[in-house]
């Protein structure tokens, strides 16, 4: 059955992604000159992309407490479990800039769309890439847009939180913007890591936690990362 679900997914994805890309390209041509932040284009692509975690009738996705996300710039941090995570969080119905590994930007269609949405690449092991990533995040925060980061940096598989890298927390402290934890569960039920096989059933939840405001931040980014990781661990029922 998993082979059937996987085949169904890829048939739907390959047939619709080409059409979707063509429609998105037309929208891009008409809106990009008047919308430098690509808000309309990004909203269209995210809405369409989120549908891919809903196309099988036994995949359930719930987006909870979306109203907790403050208006304006903020740093959104999400735990990272599976390749399905990025599609699941697009259900937040929010225009944000996403920090992603640089290799994804080289993929056909997916990478092209990420560039067109002005997502922010990060190449591990290259110090200049980290600096460029911070510059890109600051640019969008100062333009009034949220930035979304997976602080673990790679998949945990959902079994146990990995250590949090401090970049997202340093960014929130330096820019004095709210930090919004989003607890993601269930995506490994759909696809474990990079797959390749997909499951027949999945119960995914994207749960927005109460934002942390700059005036409540501890003295250091390390302390903030430790505090937020403990909050994630508690929400996931894990030990710190």
Number of domains in the chain: 1
**Hey, is 177 helix, strand or coil?**
coil
The CATH number given to whatever domain includes residue 148 is 3.40.1130.10
Closest CA to 232 of 195, 197, 185: 185
Which range has the worst mean pLDDT, 178-187, 189-198, 217-226? 189-198
Q: Using an 8 Å Cβ cutoff, are 61 and 131 in contact?
A: no
23-64 pLDDT, tens digit per residue, is 999 999 999 999 999 999 999 999 999 999 999 999 999 999
pTM score: 0.95
Q: Which residue segment(s) compose the domain that 203 sits in?
A: 2-236
In the chain, beta strands by DSSP E: 59-64, 75-78, 97-101, 120-122, 147-149, 179-185, 202-208
């Amino acid at each position: 059955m998993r082979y059937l679900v996987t085949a169904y997914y890829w048939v739907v994805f390959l047939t619709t992604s080409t059409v979707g890309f063509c429609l998105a390209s037309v929208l891009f041509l008409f809106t990009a000159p008047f919308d430098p932040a690509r808000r309309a284009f990004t909203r269209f692509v995210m809405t369409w992309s989120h549908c891919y975690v809903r196309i099988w009738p036994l995949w359930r996705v719930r987006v909870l407490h979306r109203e907790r996300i403050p208006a304006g710039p903020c740093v959104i941090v999400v735990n990272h479990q599976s390749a399905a995570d990025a599609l699941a969080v697009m259900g937040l119905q929010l225009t944000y800039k996403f920090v992603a590994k640089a290799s994804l930007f080289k993929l056909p269609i997916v990478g092209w769309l990420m560039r067109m949405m002005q997502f922010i690449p990060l190449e591990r092991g290259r110090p200049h890439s980290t600096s460029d990533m911070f510059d890109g995040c600051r640019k969008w925060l100062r333009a009034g847009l949220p930035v979304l980061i997976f602080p673990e940096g790679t998949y945990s598989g959902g079994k146990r939180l990995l250590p949090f890298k401090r970049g997202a927390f340093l960014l929130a402290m330096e820019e004095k913007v709210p930090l919004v934890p989003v607890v993601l569960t269930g995506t490994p039920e759909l696809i474990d890591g990079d797959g390749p096989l997909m499951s027949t059933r999945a119960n995914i939840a994207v749960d927005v936690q109460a934002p942390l405001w700059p005036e409540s931040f501890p003295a250091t980014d390390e302390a903030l990362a430790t505090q937020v990781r403990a909050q994630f661990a508690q929400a996931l029922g894990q030990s710190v």
